[in-house]
A = this chain, B = another copy of it.
Amino acid sequence: MDYPLPLVTVDAVLLTLRAGALEIALHQRDRAPFKDAMALPGGVVHADEDDNTEASIRRVLREKTGFEPRYLEQLQVFSGPRRDPRQWSLSVSYVALVPAAELEAAGQGLRFVSVDALPPLAFDHADIVAAAVARLRGKSSYSTLPFFLLPEHFTLTELQHTYEAILQTRLEKSNFRRKMDAWGVLEATSDFVTGAQRPARLYRLKDFALFDRSVG
């Protein structure tokens, strides 16, 4: 017995931090199904052209938003007969963590909304967003994942606020700095931010591969 092949798509949750709140970048659909609805940037896998589904989502993001994320991770498959009115479909979803300034500069036609106040989304994209936020929050207490929401150089205060926004909790300043010191992933630069406050040193992440210590 032959079965029809599923429609295979890729979708990305572009997570960013703006004014201390976790936001995602959405675009407005210009065609059916769900024409005019807000949706995650995504598209159909081009078999015979894409090397794999990660290549698919990178191509789709380039074409639809002009943006290439530095941190991209496969999230989860969402599938079934009813999520797309056209046919049985499967979406391989991805999470990207993006510094807001980078996304605002490069991303075309994107609208930012807080993950806590989503508009109605096309397909089952609200479920995909919920899974992405849960993944980020789950991993952040023991990983350097939150660093990817910051520019390459950042102050310790900016880093602390990033962890706080993701973990939805206040962290004690001296304790946070002591843990970061002990972790050994930060590298001090010779640059400082100056302004109304006293100068604050800029840091950068020493090793992007470490995912094994608790900062919570």
Contacts and interface: CB of A to CB of B under 8 A. Distances in A.
A176 interface: no
Interface stretch (A5-13, A15-23, A181-189, A192-200): A5-13
Given A8-B8, A8-B90, A44 B77 contact: no
Interface residues of A, number: 26
Contact of A88 (B7, B44, B48): B48
A81 interface: yes
Nearest to A78: B52
Contacts of A30: none
A8 B5 CA distance: 7
Q: What are the nearest 9 A-B pairs in CB distance?
A: A47-B88, A5-B5, A52-B80, A52-B79, A3-B46, A53-B79, A6-B47, A77-B92, A6-B8
